[in-house]
């Protein structure tokens, strides 16, 4: 699973209408396109350097089934150089610091030029600067990756999509060895409210502990959770509390649906 790789973002498998829509959103200028079927940009400029969209995109990638892949520099929100030919525009040197050549090489000239102008120039976007900033994209990325490693349910568990009446909201639940996590994403640029209920054992499903913030959720008397999500908001929840290591079983227990079928 990746948002960008070392080549262009290939739209060859989309219909013509779908391609036009994606080009309009992420690569409207012909300089941003390649081979009439791909986008040759990095993710940050594709999303207008909008931190909310970047976090939403990476939160989704880290919580979908599959192995997430992060391309060098995207943890900083590096940009591209459309003056370079073909795919080289997105293969500029890693921006380590604000030293000459972005700290990438001591040579007077790199094989590909460092991005040195504009909002994505190495003077503003570099690893050293972001490491010192607790609110930087780099530090957000490190915290999110660390939390992803602490949620084995996403790697090993069974998953299901919890249906809602709001098409802008995606809710996924993962279950593995007697534990569960719940991931919620809001794809709309407006605040959204969503209501849902969970299947589970006893009262554990009534409590959702947020893994990335203090915005926990407790179900109402009707057993339903009600969440308010900011534009492009996301939530990672652990179902039932943080004592999951004590509850983890050695083998997977059958889900409620499978258990019911077995009993029948």
Return the CATH number at 179: 2.60.40.1180
Is residue 246, in this structure, part of any structural domain at all? yes
Q: 63 and 138, same structural domain? A: yes
Structure tokens given for 243 = 């004592």
Q: Is the pLDDT of residue 264 over 70?
A: no
Is residue 76, in this structure, part of any structural domain at all? yes
Looking at the structure of the chain, the number of domains it has is 2
Q: 194 and 212, same structural domain? A: yes
Q: 255 and 158, same structural domain? A: yes
Q: 130 and 53, same structural domain? A: yes
C-alpha span between 51 and 10 (Å, rounded): 24
Kindly indicate the confidence band of residue 174, based on its pLDDT and cuts at 50, 70 and 90. Answer: very high
Last residue of a domain, one of 95, 121, 149: 149
Q: 161 and 138, same structural domain? A: no
Kindly indicate the confidence band of residue 255, based on its pLDDT and cuts at 50, 70 and 90. Answer: low
Q: 172 and 117, same structural domain? A: no
Is residue 121, in this structure, part of any structural domain at all? yes
Q: Is the pLDDT of residue 92 over 90?
A: yes
Q: 170 and 143, same structural domain? A: no
Is residue 34, in this structure, part of any structural domain at all? no
Last residue of a domain, one of 93, 121, 149: 149
Kindly indicate the confidence band of residue 158, based on its pLDDT and cuts at 50, 70 and 90. Answer: very high
Structure tokens given for 263 = 């009993």
Q: What is the pLDDT of residues 184-211, one digit of tens each?
A: 999 999 999 999 988 765 567 889 999 9
Is residue 38, in this structure, part of any structural domain at all? no
Q: 247 and 200, same structural domain? A: yes
| Range of the structural domain that residue 249 is part of | 153-263
Is residue 35, in this structure, part of any structural domain at all? no
pLDDT at position 244: 66
Last residue of a domain, one of 112, 127, 149: 149
Least confident segment among 16-25, 34-43, 53-62, 244-253: 244-253
Nearest to 7 by CA among 71, 75, 55: 71
Is residue 133, in this structure, part of any structural domain at all? yes
Q: Is the pLDDT of residue 261 over 90?
A: no
pLDDT at position 91: 94
Is residue 165, in this structure, part of any structural domain at all? yes
């Amino acid at each position: 699973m990746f948002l960008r790789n070392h080549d262009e973002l290939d739209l060859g498998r989309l219909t013509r209408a779908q391609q036009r829509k994606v080009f309009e959103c992420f690569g409207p200028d012909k300089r941003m396109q390649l081979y009439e079927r791909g986008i040759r940009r990095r993710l940050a400029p594709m999303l207008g350097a909008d931190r909310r969209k970047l976090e939403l995109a990476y939160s989704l990638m880290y919580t979908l089934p599959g192995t997430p892949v992060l391309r060098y520099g995207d943890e900083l929100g590096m940009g591209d150089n459309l003056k370079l030919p073909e795919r080289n525009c997105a293969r500029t040197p890693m921006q380590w610091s604000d030293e000459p050549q972005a700290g990438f090489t001591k040579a007077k000239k790199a094989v590909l030029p460092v991005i040195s102008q504009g909002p994505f120039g190495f003077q503003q976007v570099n690893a050293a600067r972001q490491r010192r900033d607790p609110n930087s994209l780099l530090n957000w990325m490190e915290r999110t990756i660390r939390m992803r490693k602490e949620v084995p349910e996403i790697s090993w568990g069974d998953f299901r999509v919890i249906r809602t009446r709001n098409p802008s909201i995606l809710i996924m639940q993962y279950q593995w060895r007697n534990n569960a996590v719940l991931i919620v994403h809001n794809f709309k640029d407006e605040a959204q409210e969503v209501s849902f209920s969970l299947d589970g054992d006893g009262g554990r499903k009534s409590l959702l502990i947020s893994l990335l913030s203090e915005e926990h959720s407790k179900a109402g008397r009707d057993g339903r959770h009600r969440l308010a999500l900011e534009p492009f908001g996301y939530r990672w929840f652990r179902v039932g509390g943080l004592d999951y290591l004590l509850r983890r079983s050695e083998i997977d227990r059958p889900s409620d649906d499978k258990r019911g079928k077995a009993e029948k």
